């Protein structure tokens, strides 16, 4: 059996896609290997979100040259968002790449691998689709802990935020048949999984219409939550413009829907938000935060932010810091703006904040957020949480780690507990990133 090796970069959706790719290939007689040196086909599932994400792939390709010299039969392919962005040009720029396959063409992979091998030709498939959701493919769980899994509920994005390549690399937004989503969740639960995360670029705009059945995201969450009270349900990502009270209400009705919302703010300045084409302003965003606090008083809130977008002034930057002080996020992914080819920003705006200034602003946000995260965690000391145990702590074999509903990592002494169990843990100490607790007798 020919063997394939998959390496994945980028967001959770790319990781979910790699599991679809593995499924498609296994069905056609290819075997998955985790040993690069054994691979007949090396598949790199790539990300194009920022320039440094692409640079990392270029560097990886230079390293792979050596692996290919040891194993001249090895064929290397680029999949995912960088494949879609650069298409066949990538095979010209990177000689060792034999095939390039975009996110909507994975069904063609078995055939492409055969062509590349038998005819010795190079191949690029990068057509985007308006309908492909891979809804009939049961993903093969790669590097899974057997406890939590991703379920892709939609693909694509058409929000066209001014800075973002995703609409160009992933195509039009489309939702997956809810019946196949619920079946996948049920199947995972039957196999012993305890947690699923529903994935989309903007899950709040999930919508399925078919023969009088209309399912929106709150309704989908309800159906997945009904699979079992012992199956935790999470989701990512919510666009603030579409976060509805109806969703918050459903979240409040089910204990197994985790109390954790990722709500990317991007900037605290109304002028920046408009220029970014985000379709909300700071008042709207703060209103959504207030709604979350109202329906779900113990919900954690996390965000994404970009420092140094085109024309951002010191005042705009200060407004971002102010937003962080107001919301008091539990965690934030913080980025320096990176100009991406073909986006609105690249066509119409200037990348006019120099690198040192971007770095300074980013570091200010990071420092503030670090302080807030620590203070938030200190408020958890003394509380008891239900924790889903995921595995051994990285620091010590004597300790396990897991997460509470709020998605915070908690470490504690293991006693007789096994990964996959739900346990009660009382928090006794913390850092900015981790809660430290002890098991509570049950």
Q: Which of 92, 192, 204, 87 is nearest to 145 (CA)?
A: 192
Please tell me whether residue 25 binds ligand SAH under the rule CB under 6 A. no
Whole-angstrom Cα distance, residue 432 to residue 381? 12
DSSP class of 106: G
> Which of ligand SF4, ligand F3S, ligand SAH, none does residue 48 bind to, with CB < 5 to 8 Å depending on kind?
ligand F3S
Whose structure tokens read 């219409």?
209
Q: Which of 32-40, 159-167, 220-228, 346-354 is the region at the interface with ligand SF4 (rule: CB under 6 A)?
A: 159-167
For residues 212-241, which are near ligand SF4 according to CB under 6 A? 239
Q: At what angle do helices 282-295 and 245-253 cross, to 10 degrees?
A: 20
Please tell me whether residue 174 binds ligand SAH under the rule CB under 6 A. no
Name which position in 150, 163, 193, 329 contacts ligand SAH (CB under 6 A): 163
Q: β-strand 3-8 against 41-46: which pairing, if any?
A: parallel
> Which of ligand F3S, ligand SAH, ligand SF4, none does residue 171 bind to, with CB < 5 to 8 Å depending on kind?
none
Whole-angstrom Cα distance, residue 113 to residue 95? 17
Whole-angstrom Cα distance, residue 328 to residue 277? 24
Pure H helices in 8-105: 12-27, 51-70, 81-86, 89-93
Name which position in 155, 170, 288, 361 contacts ligand F3S (CB under 6 A): 170
Q: Which of 45-53, 54-62, 350-358, 375-383 is the region at the interface with ligand F3S (rule: CB under 6 A)?
A: 45-53
Binding mask 188-217 for ligand SF4 (x = CB under 6 A): -------------xx---------------
Q: H or E element: which one contains 46?
A: strand 41-46
In sequence order, what DSSP letters do the residues of 317-380 get, joined into one string?
Answer: HHHHHHHHHHH--SEEEEEE----TTSHHHHH----S-HHHHHHHHHHHHHHHHHHHHHHHHTT
Please tell me whether residue 149 binds ligand SF4 under the rule CB under 6 A. no
Q: Between 267 and 376, name the residue whose CB sits nearer to ligand SF4.
A: 267
- Note the residues at the interface with ligand F3S (CB under 6 A): 10-11, 13-14, 47-49, 80-81, 165-166, 169-170
- Note the residues at the interface with ligand SF4 (CB under 6 A): 157, 159-161, 164, 166-167, 201-202, 239
- Note the residues at the interface with ligand SAH (CB under 6 A): 49-50, 163-164, 166, 201-202, 237, 239, 264, 266, 304, 306, 335, 337-338, 340
């Amino acid at each position: 059996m020919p063997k394939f090796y998959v390496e994945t970069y980028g967001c959770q959706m790319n990781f979910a896609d790699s599991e679809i790719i593995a499924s498609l290939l296994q069905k056609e007689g290819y075997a998955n290997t985790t040993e690069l040196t054994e691979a007949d086909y090396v598949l790199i599932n790539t990300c194009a979100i920022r320039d440094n994400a692409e640079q990392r792939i270029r560097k990886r390709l230079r390293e792979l040259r050596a692996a290919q010299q040891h194993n001249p039969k090895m064929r290397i392919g680029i999949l995912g968002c960088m494949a879609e962005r650069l298409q066949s040009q990538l095979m010209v720029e990177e000689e060792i790449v034999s095939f390039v396959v975009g996110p909507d063409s994975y069904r063609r992979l078995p055939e492409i691998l055969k062509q590349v091998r038998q005819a010795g030709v190079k191949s690029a498939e990068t057509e985007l689709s308006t309908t492909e959701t891979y809804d009939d493919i049961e993903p093969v769980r790669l590097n899974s802990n057997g406890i939590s899994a991703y379920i892709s509920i939609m693909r694509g994005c058409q929000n066209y935020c001014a800075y973002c390549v995703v609409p160009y690399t992933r195509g039009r937004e489309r939702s997956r048949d809810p019946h196949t989503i619920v079946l996948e969740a049920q199947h995972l639960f039957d196999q012993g999984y305890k947690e699923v995360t529903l994935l989309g670029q903007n899950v709040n705009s999930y919508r399925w219409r078919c023969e009088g059945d209309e399912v929106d995201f709150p309704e989908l969450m309800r159906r997945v939550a009904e699979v079992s009270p012992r199956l935790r349900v999470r989701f990512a990502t919510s666009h603030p413009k579409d976060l509805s009270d109806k969703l918050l209400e459903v979240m409040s009705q089910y204990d197994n829907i985790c109390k954790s919302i990722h709500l990317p703010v991007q900037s605290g300045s109304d002028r920046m938000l408009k220029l970014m084409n985000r379709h909300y302003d700071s008042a709207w965003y703060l209103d959504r935060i207030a709604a979350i606090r109202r329906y779900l008083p113990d919900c954690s809130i996390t965000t994404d932010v970009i420092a140094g977008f085109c024309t951002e002034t010191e005042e705009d930057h200060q407004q971002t810091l102010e937003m962080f002080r107001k919301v008091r996020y539990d965690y934030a992914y913080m980025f320096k703006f990176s100009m991406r080819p073909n986006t609105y920003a690249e066509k119409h705006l200037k990348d006019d904040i120099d690198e040192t200034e971007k770095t300074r602003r980013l570091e200010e946000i990071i420092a503030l957020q670090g302080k807030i995260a620590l203070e938030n965690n200190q408020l958890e000391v003394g509380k008891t949480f239900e924790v889903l145990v995921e595995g051994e702590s990285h620091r010590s074999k004597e300790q396990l780690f897991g997460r509470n509903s709020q998605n915070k990592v908690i470490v504690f002494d293991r006693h007789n507990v096994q990964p996959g169990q739900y346990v009660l843990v009382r928090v006794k100490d913390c850092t900015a990133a981790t809660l430290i607790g002890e098991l509570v007798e049950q």
